[in-house]
């Protein structure tokens, strides 16, 4: 016989305290402020909420108060397991239907983070798509621009568009970014054209290709790419160990009918279909900010003060990554505080060196890092150990040592709200993948974010 669970005032008090603690972690609000907010939701004061959170509390809220309190908390946590227990131990007369009602009502706000909208790049995506669909289109298409400007986002969208399209037999993704590899190993195993041939062969089912010499590999890949029409996407070529123009000239004879899409921070030259990405225009940047404000519930963005949005656009130079990171800060940091330090750096649309570029982002990342608690830092450091070119399924994240399921769930939501964690929705899978932008990962693995003297 199944054992019946009886309502418990002690359990109710514990669940309420846990909820306030989780909201505190998500919002960085103080506990008294959260109690006052919850009290306002049911026309009670903060003292009453504090009273109900004590283990020796002799009373429970009335049913209407319990329902109002449960909804106010659930809107933050979106945790139905917690909700069911809270209603049960709060003495609700019929908890299951009300729990289902709240879950349905808040269904449009799922607990899992969602992929960010690609704004202001539709014309580039359409132009690349039309070029690839044209039998007489260019063999090689290139995208260049500063880090965080949207190159990989466009390439990823093209990858997804053609993944299930009959136009190409196979879409091959290769990233030259190997920031996770120690320098001495990079010297032993450089990213060169041999690496590219190995990756193409392995993704086409030739797992033993590394055993062949270079001439044999070239002949094998040439035959494979003539039998199968492939789209080869080479991302982050600025990190390759040979010049990108050399990669282009070595790759070209292998193409037709196969095609290639290349991205780099460095400018491409030559007989190519070239796209040079710059920052978003003001209207596009504001569209992105409004989208982020709605998705991540950022009050100052939702207020729609146009001069605030224009100020963010001006300081960030329209870089999508910089905009996302600044908007993520605004849930916890006043706008002028978030922008004050950035004004010390050269605007992104005028940077002339890698040092200036890194200095700009350093100011944002340090502010975000200081909002993290120990569990958030541990989660972010753990995520940084994965290859940035590959999304991380939740199953792998769930196996990280030293973090409880609650800490993982809350941490993922918080890092996503700060735009330190990004999401990739799968075209052919129900699951989603998590990843760090290469620039985020660079700073997480460096000591810069931990130094107090950089702001």
Residues 95, 105: Cα–Cα separation, whole Å: 15
Quote the Cα angle for 212-220-162, to 5°.
125
Q: What tokens were used for 285?
A: 């940047």
Q: Which residues of the chain fall short of a pLDDT of 70?
A: 1-5, 106-116, 178-188, 349, 352, 388-390, 425-431, 448-455
> What's the pLDDT score for residue 360?
83
> What's the pLDDT score for residue 212?
94
Bridge partners (DSSP) listed for residue 235: 175
Residues 85, 90: Cα–Cα separation, whole Å: 8
Q: What is the dihedral of CA 171, 200, 148, 168, to 10 degrees?
A: -20
Q: What tokens were used for 13?
A: 């008090």
Structure confidence by residue, pLDDT tens digits, 309-365: 999 998 898 999 999 999 999 988 888 888 887 777 777 767 767 778 888 888 889
> What's the pLDDT score for residue 400?
82
End-to-end Cα spacing for the chain = 63
CB 13 within 8 A of CB 55: yes
Beta strands 259-264 and 230-235, pairing class: parallel
Residues 131, 273: Cα–Cα separation, whole Å: 9
CB 413 within 8 A of CB 113: yes
> What's the pLDDT score for residue 448?
62
CB 313 within 8 A of CB 280: yes
Instruction: Please tell me whether residue 286 adopts helix, strand or coil conformation.
Output: helix
3-state secondary structure 184-226: HHHHHCCCCHHHHHHHHHHHCCCCCHHHCCHHHHHHHHHHHHH
Which of 74, 75, 76 is CA-nearest to residue 85? 74
Peptide bond preceding 257: is omega within 30 degrees of 0, i.e. cis? yes
Instruction: State the alpha helices, DSSP H only, in 275-319.
Output: 282-296, 299-302, 306-316
> What's the pLDDT score for residue 4?
55
> What's the pLDDT score for residue 141?
97
> What's the pLDDT score for residue 274?
96
CB 173 within 8 A of CB 162: no
Q: What is the largest CA-CA distance in the chain?
A: 82
Instruction: State the alpha helices, DSSP H only, in 53-182.
Output: 63-77, 80-89, 95-105, 122-133, 151-163
Q: What is the pTM of this model?
A: 0.70
Which of 436, 426, 434, 437 is CA-nearest to residue 397? 434
Residues 191, 175: Cα–Cα separation, whole Å: 10
> What's the pLDDT score for residue 296?
85
Give the DSSP H or E segment for 279: none
Residues 46, 51: Cα–Cα separation, whole Å: 9
> What's the pLDDT score for residue 112?
45
Structure confidence by residue, pLDDT tens digits, 372-397: 989 999 999 999 888 766 678 887 88
Structural domains of the chain, with CATH: 9-105 (no CATH), 122-276 (3.40.50.300), 282-454 (1.10.10.10)
CB 387 within 8 A of CB 369: no
């Amino acid at each position: 016989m199944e054992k019946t669970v009886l309502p418990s005032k002690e359990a109710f008090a514990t669940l309420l305290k846990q909820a306030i603690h989780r909201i505190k972690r998500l919002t960085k609000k103080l506990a008294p402020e959260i109690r006052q907010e919850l009290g306002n939701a049911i026309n009670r004061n903060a003292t009453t909420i504090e009273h109900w959170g004590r283990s020796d509390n002799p009373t429970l809220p009335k049913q209407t108060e319990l329902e109002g309190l449960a909804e106010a908390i659930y809107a933050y946590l979106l945790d139905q397991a917690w909700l069911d227990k809270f209603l049960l131990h709060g003495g609700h007369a019929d908890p299951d239907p009300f729990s289902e009602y709240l879950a349905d009502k808040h269904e449009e706000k799922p607990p899992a983070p969602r992929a960010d909208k690609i704004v202001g790049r539709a014309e580039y995506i359409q132009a690349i798509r039309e070029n690839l669909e044209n039998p007489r289109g260019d063999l090689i298409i290139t995208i260049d621009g500063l880090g965080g400007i949207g190159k990989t986002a466009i390439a990823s969208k093209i990858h997804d568009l053609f993944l299930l399209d009959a136009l190409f037999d196979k879409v091959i993704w290769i990233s030259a970014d190997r920031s996770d590899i120690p320098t001495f190993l990079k010297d032993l195993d450089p990213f060169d054209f041999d690496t590219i041939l190995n990756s193409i062969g392995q993704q086409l089912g030739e797992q033993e290709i590394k055993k062949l010499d270079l001439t044999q590999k070239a002949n094998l890949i040439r035959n494979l790419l003539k039998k199968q029409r492939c789209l080869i996407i080479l991302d982050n070529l600025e990190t390759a160990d040979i010049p990108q123009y050399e990669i282009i000239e070595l790759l070209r004879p292998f193409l037709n009918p196969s095609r290639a899409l290349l991205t780099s921070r460095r400018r491409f030259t030559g007989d190519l279909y070239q796209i040079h990405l710059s920052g978003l225009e003001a209207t596009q940047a504001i569209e992105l900010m409004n989208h982020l404000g709605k998705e991540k519930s950022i009050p100052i963005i939702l207020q729609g003060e146009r001069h605030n949005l224009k100020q963010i656009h001006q300081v960030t130079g329209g870089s999508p990554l910089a905009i996302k990171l600044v908007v993520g800060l605004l849930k916890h940091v006043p706008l002028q505080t978030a922008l004050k330090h950035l004004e010390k750096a050269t605007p992104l649309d005028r940077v002339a060196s890698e040092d200036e570029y890194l200095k700009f982002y350093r100011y944002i990342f340090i502010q975000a890092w200081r909002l993290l608690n120990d569990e958030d830092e541990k989660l972010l450091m753990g995520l940084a150990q994965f290859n940035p070119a590959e999304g991380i399924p939740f199953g792998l994240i769930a196996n990280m040592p030293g973090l409880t399921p609650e800490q993982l769930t809350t941490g993922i939501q918080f890092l996503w709200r700060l735009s330190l964690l990004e999401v990739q929705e799968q075209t052919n899978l129900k699951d989603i993948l998590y990843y760090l932008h290469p620039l985020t990962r660079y700073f997480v693995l460096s000591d810069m974010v931990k130094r107090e003297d950089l702001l």
